[in-house]
Chains A and B, each alone.
Chain A
């Protein structure tokens, strides 16, 4: 055994479009240990959601995994048949989505949607399935779980719906929980509760979490490991402390500088990274970040940097950061 719940190696996802093939995710590599939380951070359009869906192989008719491997507890998922994948979805890997308002089916009761997963993946039927569903609703902190079991999604608030989604996702005790911006659509006060809930559930069962977010506050709250994505590639991976302490990639630094901070000496306007993530059909040559990068040099325009090891168990995809690392190491030594 490798000791990892999830290992993703060099994962590339391709979609057929009218303009030809595009690759929203390219060369993705990361790993998650049991009980660990990995946060994937990036702007809109950086390929975070596609990366998450590709782990479940839910890319639709026009998309697919082009290269690389996804292993769950050492088992290769990319070569599984659709039927095998179906029994993995919801049982071994579960997913929570961004919009609880539209991610539950409006014409079925909460209870029906919960027991559907339970009946699919466990031996529980009838009363036993219902009892388990009610227990799950109780565990995610929904008041009056028996009553909510029989209600339709539209009668619940956004926070309650997201709790119901979480109950549905963890009902079969998955080894991996993928959460795609689970708190983005919720009130700030509810966000903290939902994050707390996910943390508590995962800690209790040793479930690993892959949490996708654009919110560095959520990252600080939840992550053990962090992967920063830009334009379909991971540009930096690190444990959460090192990342906040010393971001290596200019993009990560830009993200940090665009955050307001309490009690910091920095005053005045927040800085923003100029420009936007380039569309997949018009990726720049060389480093994908160089048109927006304050440190770009001539090599950045022509040569694409690799994701290279840096420090202890960190990786960064940047020409400038490589020099930076040397300077950093020099300072440490001297």
Chain B
């Protein structure tokens, strides 16, 4: 198992390298450049040229990429073109809130979806099942910006139960409780989509398992029905769900760009949007690298979880 993980990590390196090359090309193909985005349109061209030279934008793209890669090998992600802060610091500040938001919505969403999906499967084709199907379609179909604004309108403006945005109360003490209080609305928006998708998935997976002979064996042993479902069936139904669980993590990072914008959540998503708008190449390259690492790591995590959950699967 350990040698398998080591091998997978080694294979990931060329994949990561390839991803950075493609990212760099895409970024260069995009119209505009950092200097145009930065500076007053009435600035004299000579000044613009000087600025470009200073940022190293006049050398050929291949050289620019080579320099970035060389820096990376030495552990340097470079400096932001817009704030001149070290990119590593920018990401370090922002990654925590994003991870908090992503995992809160992932686990919260799964905690809600799991019992609902099971209930739908066990009571299939009843009014409850149809209601859950309807609910899941609402969850999938509601765009996050609409649901987000709706929640802000209702919970912040109308009832004043929850804050409209941010991560800490301005001028407040801060702390974890305060952060969690601010987390509720953005996490709910992200979780809604997860719940919608996962109810269907868990229901289907559970339906598959409910017909299995080994459940009849368990019943014939005298196992109570709640354990037949909650233990014998669920353990098997969870196997395919684990795969989508891991695949959900990268999707969450993407989804957080929008949600962080709506709720002013100080995470990676906001940083990504700002650096795209200002063509902040070093920050973008670093963010893409982080995203690529997250995707590869979630895949590896999924495979590792799978071996732990299913005794029939072993990697060598």
Contact = CB atoms under 8 A, between A and B. Distances in A.
B311 A152 contact: yes
Contacts of A89: 219-222
Contact of A58 (B219, B235, B309, B310): B219
B212 interface: yes
Contacts of A168: 217, 221
Given A152-B311, A152-B312, A154-B312, A104 B223 contact: no
B28 interface: no
A61 to B, nearest CB: 10
B152 to A, nearest CB: 44
Contacts of B197: none
Contacts of B219: 58, 89
Contacts of A121: 222
A105 B312 contact: no
Interface string A89-106: 111001101010011111
A121 B312 CA distance: 29
B217 to A, nearest CB: 5
Nearest to A98: B213
Nearest to A99: B213
A120 B311 contact: no
Contact of A104 (B217, B222, B239): B217
B213 A97 contact: yes
B217 A105 contact: yes
Contact of A107 (B216, B222, B224, B235): B235
Contacts of A116: 218, 221, 223
Contacts of B311: 106-107, 152, 154
B216 A97 contact: yes
Contacts of A105: 214, 217-218, 232, 235-236
A121 B222 CA distance: 8
Contacts of A104: 214, 217
Given A105-B236, A106-B311, A107-B310, A165 B222 contact: no
Contacts of B217: 95, 97, 103-105, 113, 165, 168
A43 B23 CA distance: 66
Contacts of A103: 213-214, 216-217
A165 B217 CA distance: 9
Given A107-B309, A108-B235, A154-B312, A102 B222 contact: no
Interface residues of A, number: 28
Interface residues of B, number: 20
Nearest to A107: B235
Nearest to B310: A107
B227 to A, nearest CB: 9
Contacts of B220: 56, 58, 89-90, 94-95, 97
Nearest to B217: A103
Contact of B221 (A90, A99, A106, A107): A90
Contacts of B236: 105-107
A11 interface: no
A97 B214 CA distance: 9
Contacts of A86: 222-224
A81 to B, nearest CB: 13
Contacts of B216: 58, 97, 103
A87 B222 contact: yes
A8 interface: no
Contacts of A102: 212-214
Nearest to B220: A95
Nearest to A92: B222
A176 B235 CA distance: 31
A107 B309 CA distance: 8
Contacts of B212: 102
A107 B311 CA distance: 6
Contacts of B213: 97, 99, 102-103
B307 to A, nearest CB: 12
Given A102-B212, A168-B221, 14 more contacts: A58-B219, A86-B223, A89-B220, A89-B222, A94-B220, A97-B216, A102-B214, A105-B214, A106-B214, A107-B235, A107-B309, A116-B223, A152-B312, A168-B217
19 contacts: A58-B216, A86-B224, A97-B216, A99-B213, A102-B212, A104-B214, A105-B218, A106-B236, A106-B311, A106-B312, A107-B239, A107-B310, A108-B232, A113-B217, A120-B221, A120-B223, A154-B311, A154-B312, A168-B221
